[in-house]
Structures are given as structure tokens and as C-alpha cells.
Chain A
Amino acid sequence: MSDQKLPPNEQPPKSASPPGGGITRRGFLKGAGVTAAGTALLEGVQSFHSQALAATHSDVKEYGTEPVAIQLHINGKERTLSVEPRTTLADALRIQAGMTGTKVSCDRGACSSCTVWLDKVPVNSCMTLALDAVGHHVTTIEGLSSGDQLHPVQVAFVRHDAMQCGFCTPGMVMSCASLLENNPHPTEADVRYAVSGNICRCGTYPKVFAATLDAANQMTRKA
């Protein structure tokens, strides 16, 4: 994913490449990573990494610190954003795209407040580079409902009062909705697993469990 191809019109500026095409920090780190894997891990792993490297090396894009224009597919719409290559998906969504429903709390993947879906898979957007989201479908809390029609998990969260301060709620809802997309008949243990990475400091978990199970029932009944 880190070697995501950019469309031609989003090529990074030339100045971003080091002169002479010599050793780059990124290339060095990548090579070092493969070497370490090769010596320390199974042969098969090395082989996989080598193949991946061989297949993509010529396509590797190198970036400097300057902002680059990228296109992100967010909630069904294409958005062109200008981001520094180090920008996380969370910051790109919140600051560049102005979509602040996604929250950042720990900023290192420990609390899941920033959960969004990449191609329907929940990820921590604070641990995902915006560049790595290019070419994927990003779904945020703003895109979970369609118009005024809330997702059944959102309806159930309100009905069960599965929130207090509400700061964890968008991430919690995204985790629970993802569960139901993949498992229409979850048990409470499944719900606990789905939100095991989501921290709620107000301690609203019991109602999160109840709301999600209720939403599953509602969805099954409608289906």
C-alpha cells in the first residue's frame, strides 16, 4: 500500500527527488528492512519481500517535505487535497478536508478515536498516511449515514444512550458498524472484540454493547 501509484497529474514535484538518484533515506530504510527480514525471518518471507521490492522498485515515488496534491475518495466523492507527505489521513480529513467528525485522541493508534474505513476495513487514520489512502475508498463518520437516514448503529447508539462526552463516539460507531457489515448476527463477545481497541474514558461500554446488538437485530429484521 505504501507504494500506491499516484495518477500522472499528481506526480510529486521534481525537486522532491534527490539529485542523481542515489541512495535515499526511504530506499535505504526499505532495503535495510528487507535485509533484516531476510536474515531473521523465514526464507519465504524474504522471498515475498524481495519480489515485492523487485516488482515495485521502479515505481517508487520519492517525496520531499513539500506539499503534494492528492486525490482522496472520501464518502463517495473525489476530493483533491494538498498535503505534506508526512500528513496522516486523520489530519488530512480534519484539517485539509475540514471533516472533523473523525477525532484524534492518542495520535498513536492506541485509542481508535480516529477509526475510519479504508475499503470497508476499519483503520486508525492517525496511523495511516494520507498518501497511503489514495486509490482506496475512505468512509468516515460523516459518510456512514445517507442523508438524513442514519445507520442503524447510529440510531441504536442514540436510543441506548451509548455515549457521554461523545468524543470516542464516531470511532466507536465506525467500529461497531463495520462489525455488522461483516457479521449480521454478532454475540456480545463479538462486539467486545470489535471495540477492544476503542477507548471510552467516560465508560459507556455496556450501552455500546447493547446498542450494537440491538442494531444487529433491527438490521436483520429489515433484511
Chain B
Amino acid sequence: MSTLATPTFETTHVRRDVPAVEVQSLTKEFRRKDRSAGRFARRRMPALKDVTFTIDRGECVAILGQNGSGKSTLVRLLSTLLINDAGEARIFGHDAFRDTRVIRRLVNRVSVEASFFKKMSAAENLSYAARFYGMGPSRTRTAVPAILEKVGFPADRRREPMENLSRGMQQKVALARALLTAPVLLLLDEPTTGLDPRSKLEVQEFIRDVRAEHDATILLCTHDMAEAEALADRVGLLDRGELLFLEPVEDVKRRYDVDTLEEAFFAATGRTFEDERAEDDDYREVFG
């Protein structure tokens, strides 16, 4: 699409001889107040433990996991918002923790929070975001309406403050913002959480379109197993910071001899539904 950010950067910085994403022994932990051990005591809480995987160019990979399993930490590490404790991550061959300028140009992220200036309109928020990617006013004048139309955003609401829009509408604008910058790696962190069924389906349809039309590689983090199964080539399970598997859905089911991903989850973690309900919520609270 000619209205999107220039592909020149992509052609000079995206290596085709390497995977889109290479993660090797990636480890991250946070320190958290531990009141039980004293007023100023802290304890280390592992968020990601020795995670290793690769994603090929053009592939859509879903990482499943319950709240607090480390999915958002993984996305934040790949989008230069966190610094690793150990291991490495490469995006199209670029070190995610050193070549941050290049990475930021190649990657975009849509998270569960829409992250907009609430008083600004959809068009203003998109124009503002586009400036960071070198798109001047003359380009956004045509690109912003075009992209909003593409995600099914009503033309008569473009000038309305974001705070007046529904969650579903806001999430469409978030997807439009991500696509406007023509990312070669799209990180989707629970993009449909909290949406009504119709909005959810629209967003999922849009993700399929993005992949089909823009040659984008997609990492989808979700706790919605049906969504993962519907959209991804391979699914992974992140549990308490550990990646238990990452393979096509049918292989997962075959490996655990189960019919559904839910059953595979319990088989892989070795926990039962009752265990899940009884589990201390402390772990989830930290990284959710």
C-alpha cells in the first residue's frame, strides 16, 4: 500500500537469510517487595526462564499462557521496553537489546491497553504516531483516512476524542496505528481481550488480512486458545516463565494425546483445573 511508511528501511535492514525472530535462553526476572521478610526486603520473581524459539518470516505464532505466565514480558523484551537479564533475542538478525533504533523501526505492538491520548481524536493520534516513522503531514493526510477505512472505522468519527469511543473501536485504531507504520514484525499482546464477540471477530479477520497482504510476521500472545488455534501456524505454551512447547496445533494434540488445546495445557503443565483455581495469585499479579 503506497500510503504506508516507506519500505526503503525494510529493504536495507531486513535480512532474508535469518529467521524473523530468534530467541535464545532469554531470561528476565523482577524484584518485588516481600513484606513477610521485612519492610525493605525484596525477592526475585522469575518472569521468563531460559526461553528459546524461532519464528520464520511470514509466520504467525501464538504464545498461550494464563495471566502472569510471562507473555507480556516476552513482548516487552522484543519491543525494546525491557532489558534482558540473560540470553539473547534477534529480530531479522538485529540484536533486540543493542540495535534498538533499527528494531523499533521494524516492530510494532498492539497491546491489551489501547494506549492513546484520550482527548485526541483517532486521526490526531494516528498522525502523531506516523511522525515518529518519518511520515509528514502530506502523507498522513491521505494515509490516515485510508487506513481507518481499511479497519472499518466510521469516517464520521475520525475527529472524535478517543475517550468517546468503545473498546472495540479503540482497538481498531490501535491496529490501524500498527499497520500505518508498515511493521515487518507485529507483536500482538492480547489484542482481543475485553472485546465483544463481533469486535473480536473483526479484529481477528483484520489480523488475517495483515498477514496475507503485508508479508508481516506475527507473534500473538493470548490466553484465548480458540483464537490461537484459528490464527496461528504454531502455538506455544508459556507457563510460569517457561516455554513448554511451540509447534503446530495438531502436533501438540498428538503429543499429549488430547482433543483440545485446553487439555494439552493441563497435560503439559501437569496441573489440574482445581490446582489452577487454588494457585496463589501472587505470581500472576506481578507480571499480568
Q: Do A and B come from one complex?
A: no
Interface residues of B (CB under 8 A from A): none
